[in-house]
A and B are shown apart, each in its own frame.
Chain A
């Protein structure tokens, strides 16, 4: 076997790429995982993870130099000195915004699994059937029963905490013990349940943080510094979970600094043979060959890779025969909701910093309800006591003021909505061949925006939060809309969607590219609709399922 020949190639090492590598190697396939960025070694390279607040010179803030270097990252909370090295260099890796799109990228081993929000929810048949029922886009080619065992398989491995709730809108999972609500949250949840007579629920958030030791990993230490990298390995990341499992098989080769430029396509067999890469450090090109290729470069870059491949056969690239490659870009729209002050509970506080909050599963447009928009939204939220940054009336300067600020203030409680975005054909990415990145590769042009359905939904997203908080006795409730443009949800999806028909979808029911069956795309690109739940758990389940399929196909000699 030549040194550049493997059984399988995985493009990308993030949430889904790590899963592909683990599953392929555990099934005995010699696998190379190609990562475009640098290596970040578990624990050793989490350089800021154990620093105290005062050890950051700007206390976590951003400098003018950072704002100049990272204008996109600066659009949200994402720009901070605490983990700047985990975000992509915007000057080396530009893109074009026909309409505003905030693309927050992590180009390194582990990808955004290092910085992700860890919220982990299943999507159910309400979501899988939605496109068909609404007559929009295309029907998902799978249903919940197809993915259900794989959700459990993934949850049992990565460790997801949560409570069993038996809610139709949000399937339960195979959970570790849930985290605890604050006393305020417990009471607000009970009042919401009573007020809405069980039609709305506020439950404990489900997150990929370990509440008990799990598979050799330490449980959460409640520092709430996950996105710096966890020295305890207590949340799921490629580094803490899937990569060690893949390495343990002896079947994995990890190659950082490997920008996959194109998939090598064989017109005669109608299969992919391998990939061509550029070494990001030396600019030299290399080829790697394998029987099966998993594309997990993140939604936009996976589509980019397909667009750059087999262009001698299809102008628009591999998978473009459907006319849907790069189209139907979706995200979750958010940054709006409501918050208020909670009276009482002066004798209650909390210990530890919980890296998780409460969750309100979708309740709109269910059970026959019809709003002036379709689909729905969920809320993430939480309560806390105010700290020193609060305003204290009539006390402004001096010792009394200082001492008052050393005690916690009143409780407050907020809910922030995450709404489903519909897959519009015209929300699209294309290759901009006039602009090149540092390696001379064409960059993406992103052209998308939310529309009428989302704008109408946002009104409910604010008003319903206010109504629920008020119903629960929260005072001085105010709604907010912090402004949203696509991408800010960091849930890019849909650019190579699954479907039932090669004429209207890029991937089939097992995530195989219709035009090259040994190429699987199992990241956010595959999503036919977005639902309103955080999507990463679904990518993991789709990946594990697709690897199972790929290995069965290999055994049947279907890829040779």
Chain B
């Protein structure tokens, strides 16, 4: 029956089956940054790393940037998102910077860690509120996309699995009733 339970974590966060060519990305006039892939340039990936690392920062274990979550997000959006979702996500990068500008008169990457956290807490409230009211056919909030990809990317990364969580590639046996004490880490898989 595990096959019934094998629903991948990404299934619910992507959705949609509309197909088509990738949409244009960069409309800014400044010199173009080096491309990372078909959807993102390296500056955008660095930006996503900062967002991810604010959501899941370094604590006693490395944070999302160390786990290269920015690059993971860029790959997932390029390969797995519908063109519509890609558009929302990519526009979201600008919207997040606009929100930063509005609140602190600075670009997101220029904020100090406390300000970054404050802004993302605000955006997280905004996305939760939006998601709870939106119709199913309406697009997801860009920050929900970023947060979900951050969680997925981090906790399935090597750092996430083996340092933030516990991972055993070949358990070798099964114990259905193992003792647990507060602070013990969860299994990665």
Contacts and interface: CB of A to CB of B under 8 A. Distances in A.
Interface of A: 50, 52-54, 57-65, 67-68, 71, 74, 77, 80, 115, 117, 119, 179-183, 185-186, 205, 220-224, 226-227, 334, 346-357, 380-382, 385, 387-389, 396-399, 401-403, 405-409, 416
Contact of A62 (B8, B61, B173): B8
A167 B183 CA distance: 42
A355 B2 contact: yes
A399 B56 CA distance: 6
Nearest to A56: B156
Give the secondary structure class of A's interface: loop
Contact of B121 (A71, A186, A222, A397): A397
B174 A179 contact: yes
Contact of B174 (A354, A382, A387): A354
A72 B139 CA distance: 24
Interface stretch (B27-35, B97-105, B157-165): B157-165
Given A205-B1, A388-B151, A398-B57, A182 B177 contact: yes
B123 to A, nearest CB: 9
Interface of B: 1-11, 14, 17, 19, 54-61, 63, 75-76, 79-82, 117, 120-121, 124-125, 128, 151-153, 155-158, 160-161, 164-165, 167-189
Interface centre among A181, A350, A356, by most chain B C-beta atoms within 10 angstroms, is A350
A53 B158 CA distance: 8
Contacts of B180: 346-349, 408
Contacts of A50: 169
Given A77-B3, A357-B1, A407-B183, A61 B176 contact: no
Contacts of A347: 179-181
A396 B126 CA distance: 12
A224 B170 contact: no
A62 B10 contact: yes
Contacts of A58: 10, 75-76, 79-80
A284 to B, nearest CB: 36
A173 B156 CA distance: 39
Contacts of B1: 117, 119, 205, 356-357, 380-382, 416
A406 B75 contact: no
Nearest to A63: B79
Contact of B178 (A52, A64, A71, A351): A351
A407 B172 contact: no
14 contacts: A53-B189, A54-B161, A60-B9, A61-B8, A61-B14, A61-B80, A77-B4, A77-B5, A117-B1, A183-B176, A346-B180, A349-B178, A353-B187, A388-B155
Interface centre among B1, B81, B128, B152, by most chain A C-beta atoms within 10 angstroms, is B1
Contacts of A220: 174
Contact of B179 (A115, A348, A355): A348
A59 B177 contact: no
A326 to B, nearest CB: 28
B184 A352 contact: no
Nearest to A81: B8
A227 B175 contact: no
A117 B4 contact: yes
A305 B81 CA distance: 40
A416 B3 CA distance: 12
B109 to A, nearest CB: 17
Contacts of A63: 79-80
A185 B176 contact: yes
Contacts of A221: 170-172
Given A182-B176, A222-B171, 10 more contacts: A50-B169, A61-B80, A71-B17, A115-B3, A227-B6, A347-B179, A350-B175, A402-B55, A407-B183, A408-B186
Interface centre among B156, B174, B180, by most chain A C-beta atoms within 10 angstroms, is B174
Contacts of A349: 178-180, 184, 187
Interface centre among A68, A205, A399, by most chain B C-beta atoms within 10 angstroms, is A399
Given A180-B174, A354-B174, A397-B121, A59 B152 contact: yes
Contacts of B4: 77, 117, 334, 380, 416
B75 A64 contact: no
A402 B171 contact: no
B11 to A, nearest CB: 7
Contacts of A179: 174
Contacts of A355: 2
